[in-house]
Structure 1
Amino acid sequence: MASQKSQKTVMVTGASSGFGLETARRFAEKGHKVIVAARRKERLEQLKAELEQEFGQCCVYVLPMDVTSEEQIDSMIDSLPEDFSEIDILVNNAGLALGLEPAHKANLDDWHRMVDTNIKGLYLMTRKLLPGMVERKLGHIINIGSIAGNYAYPGGNAYGATKAFVKQFTRNLRADLLGTQVRVTNIEPGLAETEFSLVRFGGDKDKADDVYKGTEPLTAEDIAEAVIWAAEQPQHVNINSIELMPTSQAWASLAIDKVQG
């Protein structure tokens, strides 16, 4: 457990499931104060109750909000109690993929939603909390990217592009924040089994299950461990990025369209 001196205040977005939930759990297990943020308040309240039962009266604060709304971000974060107002670590986890159709068949509303959540939500949260971190000369922004931001695949179109934004935004933050003591990290998971595919396929469980059939994918716990490891490095060490895949996944060969005849 963290000592009072080393105890940090951590905010995790998208904390109602998957990577976010497990990341919040691991920080709470280590004795840190955790702000769990997501749209689904009932899931956050359930998580808070579970963490308090498992780890005792650990400090968990529920913050129901939509990261795509600048007004909600401003009002909810400005209303944080004093004990939670100085956030040391922001885990920008809120994000989603929708659809796997080729670009010319993709649903434009899905593209809008992915851009709003994966890009706009991430930079709004960062911009809101970053000034305080810089002023205190202490802080860590941990973004949850994806290997989709590094390697293209059919149907990845807008989703992959949003994660490429996360990668470059993280790098540019590192350049901007030189000399401030604020650290920035990008976590880039490969195939991982959470609610991710269920959301991507609009709740079609058969399609979602088929993605992982015959594989041993990463788990939410694996990603949470990567986040914790990056966060626990000494202050003079900045983990720029962590790219991780299950052993059952690797890069594919380049596709070639061969003309017949």
Structure 2
Amino acid sequence: MTHSERKTILITGASSGLGEGMAREFAAKGRQLALCARRTERLEQLKQELEREYPQCQVSIKALDVNDHDQVFAVFKAFKDEFGTIDRVVVNAGMGKGASLGTGYFYANVQTAQTNFVAALAQCEAALEMFREQNAGHLVTISSISALRGMPRAMTVYAATKAGLSALTEGIRADLIKSNSPIKVSCIMPGYIRSEINEKVKNTPFMIDNKTGCRLLVKAIEKEPVKAYVPSWPWAPIGFLMKRLPLKWVMKLG
């Protein structure tokens, strides 16, 4: 199946930020959308906007807290029952809470760890159950450039979860290669794209606006790569350096 034939796209964390932005981009391409998030009032507003602007676009919304793992499986199944098939799942829901370890913020760090990794595992499991049954599909995980190295302060746990998600994605791909499966798997690694998760972060180099970032994310996803840095400039060369430079130099890149 080529990317143009992937008509029905499920996006988690679709009520704001990158999820909302990607939904808008896919709607403009005439795709059918299965959108889920905790904040249903924002999803409802998004659905109305998209259906008004793109009358050919079918949009279904459902409430989902990805940390309720049973609900992840139930919501994904409900979307599949509704549309018949789900062609692509974008594992996007995440959070960026956190602080240096040992400074009294375990409650925030563990929330980020659970949401960005354990809940992502639940989403990958639910997606792959559908894809294995269909013998087709495209799993997309939204990781981060920060996955490439350990990061300081508020980024420490966030970067660790994204590194875990990248490794999980590659492991899934290895498993599918071994079984000659037609299911495609992509790990997308955004650089700094302005969204709600980082709106308070100041003086960040190479930050791009949400609309541009989401357009480039969707463009990368549509190519169904094994891995992609978004935008590729400057993050592909920076990524190359990040993996190789001493840690104290890497910290200066951020």
Partner residue of 1:175?
174
1:81 is displaced (CA, Å) by 6.8
Pick the aligned partner of 2:214 from 219, 224, 231.
Answer: 224
CA distance in 1: counterparts of 2:79 and 2:234, whole angstroms: 42
Partner residue of 2:57?
58
One-letter amino acid of the counterpart of residue 55, structure 1: Y
CA distance in 1: counterparts of 2:151 and 2:6, whole angstroms: 41
Identity %: 30
CA distance in 2: counterparts of 1:59 and 1:65, whole angstroms: 19
Partner residue of 1:41?
40
CA contact (8 A) 2:194 2:210 kept: yes
How many pairs align?
236
RMSD over aligned CA atoms reads 2.4
- Kindly provide the CA deviation profile for residues 156-214 of structure 1, in whole angstroms up to 9, marking residues without a partner as x: 2211110001110110011111211111111111222111124xxxxxxxxx15244xx
Partner residue of 1:210?
202
1:144 is displaced (CA, Å) by 0.4
Greater per-residue helix proportion:
2
1:123 is displaced (CA, Å) by 1.1
Secondary structure of the residue aligned to 2:202 is: helix
CA contact (8 A) 2:79 2:86 kept: no
One-letter amino acid of the counterpart of residue 195, structure 2: T
1:92 is displaced (CA, Å) by 0.4
Instruction: Show structure 1 runs of 5+ residues with no match.
Output: 199-207, 257-261
1:243 aligns with 2:229: yes
CA distance in 2: counterparts of 1:161 and 1:106, whole angstroms: 19
1:86 is displaced (CA, Å) by 1.7
Pick the aligned partner of 1:152 from 150, 153, 158.
Answer: 150
Secondary structure of the residue aligned to 1:105 is: coil
Secondary structure of the residue aligned to 1:210 is: coil
CA contact (8 A) 2:38 2:65 kept: yes
CA distance in 2: counterparts of 1:230 and 1:163, whole angstroms: 18
One-letter amino acid of the counterpart of residue 188, structure 1: M
CA contact (8 A) 1:188 1:242 kept: yes
Matches within 5 A, 1:1-261: 6=5, 8-80=7-79, 82-99=81-98, 101-105=99-103, 107-155=105-153, 156-178=155-177, 179-198=180-199, 208=200, 210-212=202-204, 215-233=205-223, 238-244=224-230, 247=234, 250=238, 254-255=247-248
- Kindly provide the CA deviation profile for residues 45-69 of structure 1, in whole angstroms up to 9, marking residues without a partner as x: 0000110111124100011110111
CA contact (8 A) 2:85 2:134 kept: no
CA contact (8 A) 1:149 1:163 kept: yes
Normalising by structure 1, report the TM-score.
Answer: 0.81
Instruction: Show structure 2 runs of 5+ residues with no match.
Output: 250-254
Normalising by structure 2, report the TM-score.
Answer: 0.84
CA distance in 1: counterparts of 2:37 and 2:74, whole angstroms: 15
One-letter amino acid of the counterpart of residue 12, structure 1: I
